[in-house]
Structure 1
Amino acid sequence: MTKTLDLGCGPNPNNPFKADEIFGVDIREDIGNNIAAADLAIEPIPYADGMFEFVTAFQFIEHVPRVIYAPRHRNPFVQLMNEIYRVLKMDGIFLSVTPAYPHNAAFQDPTHVNIITEETFPCYFDDTNRWAKIYGFNGHFRMLRQEWMGANLVTQMQKRLPA
């Protein structure tokens, strides 16, 4: 029985991998139906370690700040990537669809505080470069694919063990 988790899902979680069970996380508290309430910029994903075969983030990553300083310095985007790694099963898949640079859609919404580029995931969160390690990233993702879909960058990565 496969499980998927959709981050920032609103009332209707996405299920592009056709998992048997669908879960979600959203900042809203009034949704229900396997959708947990959490502010993922400051809170962990409220599910157990290794619970999901799939984690998706459609139009969500760009809303998670890269750095916050209240009450102390934190790297919420890096911490979110650690959380995604934590809740995925080994060989589980993470799929992100997000407006990205150089397209206007990356900047025009005033709540877009995390500008993604083609280099963000393969340089900082893959299992080769792992540049985000200096910011506290402890996961290992293998890049499966990355492509443009209009103004959106579609990135698919797989949870791996350290080499």
Structure 2
Amino acid sequence: MQSYYATRKLRLDLGCGGSRSQGFVGVDCYPAPGVDIVADLTRTFPFSDSSVDQIKAYNIIEHLPDRIHTMNEIWRVCKPGAIVDILVPSTDGRGAFQDPTHISFWNINSFLYYCIEFPPYLSLCHQYGFQGTFQATRLEQVLSPGEIIYVIAQLVVVKQGQGINAALPLTCNDAFIQDLYQQYAQLSATQHQQRPMIPLHPLLPCLEDYWKNPLNLGARETLKKRVSELLSYF
């Protein structure tokens, strides 16, 4: 199976059931039309280290008992820069609890523990046994037509020295960016006991505009203004 996908992009649809997404390899614990690989995802995922380009995990991680194991395995099998797209019912609504097969429970704050933008939480999670790092490009709650609150977590896999902006064409060697992020990260670290972590992902569009043309004073001022707004809010 690994050799078959070695020459092409490997995109996994975890817990796909009979609804595998087009262009993805369907993975589920039970055989069904569209399931290409039957696997017990409570154990080691049947993929080599750093072999997967993208993971879609919709309505599956709440069925897996060990949250740290789940995130470790997702991180392990993914290549650096791989995209992880998660949809999970939130404990902020009834959807997390209504299904008797839901055995782990998540909300938007659960993902802070796995992401580089939130250093105190990530440090704690490493102490708990998490071995990886993600960058959050989207963390938000949405309400389904059935009035179930879901968390959308779109993450980028960070490995082997990649920096905070692994998902961007940005190396973070830019002194202006480094200075802004240091302000941002230091305030997050000092306030984490009293207030929520300050996320980096709202800055990503501004960072992208700035990086396209660092000499553009308008883009620079927009980025500085956005940082100031977020810092004053928190």
**Category of TM-score, reference length = shorter chain:** 0.7 to 0.9
1:111 aligns to 2:118 (yes or no): no
Q: Report the CA distance between 1:89 and its aligned residue.
A: 1.0
Q: Which has the higher strand share?
A: 1
Distance 1:14 1:95 in 2: 13
Report the counterpart of residue 38 of structure 1 in structure 2.
39
Shift of residue 100 of structure 1?
Answer: 0.3
Establish whether residue 9 from structure 1 lines up as the match of residue 2 from structure 2: no
Question: In structure 2, how many angstroms separate the alpha carbons of the residues matched to 1:58 and 1:87?
Answer: 17
1:99 aligned partner: 89
Alignment length (residue pairs): 145
Distance 2:19 2:108 in 1: 28
Name the SS of the counterpart of 2:41 in structure 1. coil
What is the TM-score with the length of structure 2 in the denominator?
Answer: 0.57
Cα-to-partner distance string for 1:97-137 (whole Å, 9 max, x where unaligned): 01102111111111111111111012x11123313212211
Task: Note the aligned Cα RMSD (angstroms).
Answer: 1.8
Displaced runs of 4+ in structure 1, greater than 3 A?
A: 31-34
Q: Secondary structure at the match of 1:119?
A: helix
Q: CA–CA distance in 1 between the matches of 2:104 and 2:34?
A: 29
For 1:2-151, what aligned pairs fall within 5 Å after superposition?
2-15=9-22, 21-28=23-30, 30-31=31-32, 35-41=36-42, 43-65=43-65, 76-122=66-112, 124-127=113-116, 128=119, 129-130=121-122, 131-150=124-143, 151=149
Which one-letter code corresponds to 2:50 in the other structure? Answer: G
Larger helix proportion of the pair: 2
1:12 is paired with a residue whose SS is coil
Amino acid of the structure 2 residue aligned with 1:5: L
Check whether the contact 2:49–2:76 (CA below 8 A) recurs between aligned residues.
yes
Quick one: which amino acid aligns to residue 67 of structure 2?
F
Structure 1 unaligned spans of 5+? 16-20, 66-75
Q: Output one character per residue of 1:70-121: Cα deviation in whole Å (capped at 9) or x when no partner.
A: xxxxxx2211211111111110011110110211111111111111111101
Match of 1:102, SS?
coil
Contact 2:19-2:34 at 8 Å conserved across structures: no
Structure 1 partner of 2:187: none
Q: 1:135 to 1:63 in 2, by over 3 A?
A: same
Unaligned stretches of 5+ residues in structure 2: 1-7, 144-148, 164-234
Counterpart AA for 1:119: N
| Whole-Å separation in 2 of the counterparts to 1:112 and 1:32 | 23
Give, in whole Å, the separation in 2 of the partners of 1:118 and 1:83: 20
Aligned equivalent of 2:184: none
- The structure number with the bigger radius of gyration is 2
* Structure of higher RCO (CA pairs closer than 8 Å, 6+ residues apart): 1
Out of 128, 148, 151, which is 1:153 matched to? 151
Q: Percent identity?
A: 31
